[in-house]
């Protein structure tokens, strides 16, 4: 029997990058996967096809996690298709970088709405059924910069530090109900999000990383897999740093 057989996993932002790697890994291990996405329908459907071709089960649901009504509808749709969510991976995230002095209200809010409020909305709905089952796994994808701060990312850093704070609060609140809430904090991982950075910035990031290399999406997916599995059942409110030593 596969480790996640009978479990339903919702991975937000699973059409690309880290979320896609997480969806494929949990799908391979037997979970029924909900591939959430905001815009990239074709990529999201490719992820579901990949899982189905490997004899797994998957559906794609378009929903901006920043919209509470849409999140509510997504959970209703999941319930109808697969049943209650057992594993929630809050991975959807965006950046809108700028120096604080030039940061617009819109760009500040957009990042908070997706990265922080989106995770809150998803947790709020997911814990309802998890509480009934007295078991559940929530993994929030934060970032190394949520721990170090970063110039030019005041909105993003606020969202990622906030997400870690929410992780600890939710872990305290939900522990007695058997719900484990943890975080993974990637460092510099090669995805569309980091491909837009200049070669100069990439070289500087690698220089700051003791292992002298970028991470790959599977490095993060492996940590999420561990936190989703029963092997981490006595761990809650923690963060696993996946950053090649960038933050020690």
Show which residues are catalytic. 156
Shortest spacing between CB 6 and ligand NAP, in angstroms = 26
| Residue 245, SS3 per DSSP | coil
Token look-up 């997911």 returns 126
C-beta of 26: minimal distance to ligand NAP in Å?
15
36-42-44 Cα angle (round to 5) = 25
Q: Which is nearer to ligand NAP, 65 or 85 (CB)?
A: 65
When the beta carbons of 236 and 243 are compared against ligand NAP, the nearer one is: 243
Binding site for ligand NAP (CB under 6 A): 12-13, 15-19, 36-40, 64-66, 91-94, 114, 118, 141, 143, 186, 188-189, 191-194
Phi, psi of 183 (to 5 degrees): -130, 155
Burial grade of 31 (CB within 10 A; 0-12, 13-18, 19 or more): buried
CB of 142 to ligand NAP, least distance (A): 7
Would you say 209 or 232 has its CB closer to ligand NAP? 209
Question: Whole-angstrom Cα distance, residue 125 to residue 71?
Answer: 8
Q: What distance in Å separates the CA atoms of residue 58 and residue 9, rounded to the nearest whole number?
A: 9
Compute the half-sphere exposure of residue 3: CA atoms within 13 Å on the CB side of its CA: 15
Centre a 10 Å sphere on the Cβ of residue 161 and count the other Cβ atoms it contains.
18
Which CB, 13 or 136, lies closer to ligand NAP?
Answer: 13
Rounded-to-integer distance, Cα 175 and Cα 121, Å: 19
Tell me how far, at minimum, the Cβ of 84 lies from ligand NAP, in Å: 20
């Amino acid at each position: 029997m596969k480790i996640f057989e009978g479990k339903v996993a919702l991975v937000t932002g699973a059409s690309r990058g880290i979320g896609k790697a997480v969806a494929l890994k949990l799908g391979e291990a037997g979970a029924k996967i909900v591939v959430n996405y905001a815009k990239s329908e074709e990529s999201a459907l490719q992820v579901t096809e990949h899982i189905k071709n490997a004899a797994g089960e998957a559906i794609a649901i378009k929903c901006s996690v920043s919209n509470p009504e849409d999140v509510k509808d997504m959970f209703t749709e999941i319930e109808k298709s697969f049943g209650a969510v057992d594993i929630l991976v809050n991975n959807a995230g965006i950046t809108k970088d700028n120096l604080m002095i030039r940061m617009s209200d819109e760009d500040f809010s957009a990042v908070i709405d997706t990265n922080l409020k989106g995770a809150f909305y998803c947790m709020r709905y997911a814990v309802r059924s998890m509480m009934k089952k007295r078991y559940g796994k929530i993994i929030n994808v934060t970032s190394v910069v949520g721990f170090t701060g970063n110039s030019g990312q005041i909105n993003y850093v606020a969202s990622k530090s906030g997400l870690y704070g929410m992780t600890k609060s939710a872990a305290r609140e939900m522990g007695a109900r058997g719900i484990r809430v943890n975080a993974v904090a990637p460092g510099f991982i090669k995805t569309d999000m980091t491909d837009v950075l200049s070669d100069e910035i990439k070289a500087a990031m690698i220089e700051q990383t003791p292992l002298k290399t970028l991470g790959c999406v599977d490095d993060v997916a492996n940590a999420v897999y561990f936190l989703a599995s029963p092997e981490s059942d006595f761990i809650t409110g923690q963060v696993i740093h996946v950053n090649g030593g960038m933050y020690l």
